[in-house]
Amino acid sequence: MGVDSKKELFESMPVPKAIATMAIPTVISQLINLIYNVVDTFFIGRTGNSYMVAAVTVAFTLFMMTVAFSNLFGIGGGSLVARLLGQGQEERARKVSAFSFYGSLAIALLYSLLVGVSMDPLLRLLGASAATIGYAKQYVWLVVVLGSVPVILSASGAHLLRNVGYSKQASIGLSGGGILNIVLDPIFMFVLLPEGWEVFGAALATLISNVAACVYMLIVLGRVSRRAALSINPARIRGIGGADIRGVFSVGVPSAILTGLFDVANIVLNALMSGHGDLALAAVGIVMKAERLPNAINIGICQGMLPIVAYNYSSGDRARMDSVIRCARRAGLAISVCSLLLFELFASPVVRIFLSTSAGDTTDALTTLAFAVTFLRIRCLASPSQFLNYHTSYCLQAMGNGRDTLLHAVARELVFYIPFMVILNRLFGVYALVGGIIAGETCGAVFALFLLRRWLKKLEGAKAAQK
């Protein structure tokens, strides 16, 4: 797709087609990456060892923090790049992309160092027990300490590519890494390494796959930068203005905090759940893997929508921007309702994918699965409101409204979800703890829609004042 075709995509292509063009490759890559993240749990579950599953649940929280750091510069920089393109300022967009790329590298190195020097207390804080911490450390050393740089650079690079219209290329890189992980997992876990080393094998496969995806992304970024408003040349950083740095952080910091607070909420959930035993913790880990299917699709829709909203917001085409927002919202809500119905009907076969009852301790496995079936049927009720939270937040980020993005993130997790979990767990126990997500996400969605409506009214007022 040439430069003129990219311009058509942002400015005149029918809205459903434009969203599909941007979102379908992103959804595919989200699903493949979901598969390779789930594959670790799937293959570890084949051992029938609930403690290995619990360990990966604990360790995965630290891995998910890399998403927050990739959003800091990937979404922060990518959103600004799209808005600058809407204004026709391609040279500024190149400087912003270079700053975002090397900012991602710096934050990845820092995170690797911090996790490496404080691993034991971190894992204990996240709910690791004497039975699970050894396995958790194996996973974290390879996937987080050694793997943060390739993961964060790949994700940030994909965001930058997507925001200049190269959604397909971004998705191929992430998807390729996921497919490689799926192939390598059973080889390392069950062929090359001895019994008892399954967690280490899964982590090693993930590390190699992430490095391969990063190498691909670097090659594509270098090629695309020759013809698009994108650059990874460090020399361009010297020319970036203070206003553009603030523009990156004004959206990137709230986006990172949003994801980080989501992970903090999961940390709290794991810590509270560990009080009900390792089997309940393993069960909620299984459920959180299963429910990522609709989340992956909906995040892909939102990420595909963001560049088009940002471009038209900046170019002043309010009608097209509103149409894109409405179309993406309808698609995501439809996916959410369908997933809710499927999980309610097929909760048992879904969770059984992740843990074998024919290997290891059968009694522990059956207890874990019984927890997981009920947990999934409860948590899936939050799917529609969870999508509305994602969608509204991405809309605010696309329009450069970091203040409301941050306000929504803090309210959603710290004011609503985490307090609901703590209170419900104390009053009613483990199943009420799982149900805290329904109350939290619903309150968060109502607040998010209020913020978006208020912001759009403000834009209308400003436009009317200019006439």
DSSP 233: -
pLDDT (0 to 100) of residue 360: 53
Q: Which amino acid is at 379?
A: R
* Model pLDDT, residue 329: 93
| pLDDT reported for residue 462 | 67
Mean pLDDT of 363-379: 85
Mind giving me the DSSP string for 367-426? HHHHHHHHHHHHHGGGHHHHHHHHHHHHHHHHTT-HHHHHHHHHIIIIIIIHHHHHHHHH
Residue 399's φ and ψ, nearest 5 degrees, are -90, 10
Structure confidence by residue, pLDDT tens digits, 181-236: 888 888 887 888 777 787 888 889 889 988 998 999 889 888 888 777 788 888 88
Residue 3 confidence class, pLDDT cut points 50, 70, 90: very low
Token output for 192: 């090359």
Q: Could you count the other beta carbons within 10 Å of the beta carbon of residue 323? A: 18
Q: Residue 2 has what pLDDT?
A: 47
Which stretch of 23-37, 67-81, 253-267, 292-306 has the lowest confidence by average pLDDT? 23-37
The pLDDT, as a whole number, for residue 433 is 92
> What's residue 106's pLDDT?
93
* pLDDT score of 36: 63
Of the candidates 202, 289, 274, 264, which has an alpha carbon nearest to the alpha carbon of residue 61? 264
Identify the band that residue 361 occupies on the pLDDT scale cut at 50, 70 and 90: low
Percent of the chain surpassing pLDDT 90: 20
As a whole number of angstroms, the distance between CA 284 and CA 275 comes to 13
Higher pLDDT, 330 or 74: 330
Task: Return d(Cα 392, Cα 302) in angstroms, integer.
Answer: 9
Lowest mean pLDDT: which of 112-116, 124-128, 329-333, 407-411?
124-128
Answer yes or no: are the C-beta atoms of 272 and 421 closer than 8 Å: yes
Q: What is the DSSP string of 100-136?
A: HHHHHHHHHHHHHHHHHHTHHHHHHHTT--TTTHHHH
Tokens representing 7? Answer: 């311009």
Tokens 């192939």: give the residue: 183
Rg, C-alpha atoms of the chain: 22
* CA dist list (Å): 458 to 4, 59, 66, 375, 391: 33, 43, 34, 41, 19
Q: Which residues contact 102 (CB under 8 A, 6 or more apart)?
A: 232, 234, 237
Helix (H, G, I), strand (E, B) or coil at 241: coil
The pTM is what? 0.73
Question: pLDDT digits over 236-288, tens only?
Answer: 888 788 888 888 888 788 878 877 787 788 878 888 887 888 788 878 878 88
Average pLDDT, integer, range 425-436? 90
Average pLDDT over residues 303-308: 85
Query: Which of residues 289 and 308 earns the better pLDDT score?
Result: 308
- Six token digits for residue 159: 């965001």
Amino acid at 112: S
Cβ atoms 126, 271 nearer than 8 A: yes
- Give the percent of the chain with pLDDT over 70: 92
* pLDDT of 19 over the 60 cut: yes
Kindly state the average pLDDT of the residues 461-465.
66
Confidence band, pLDDT 50/70/90 cuts, at residue 38: low
- Please determine, for residue 8, whether its predicted confidence score (pLDDT) is greater than 50: yes
Average pLDDT over all residues of the chain:
83
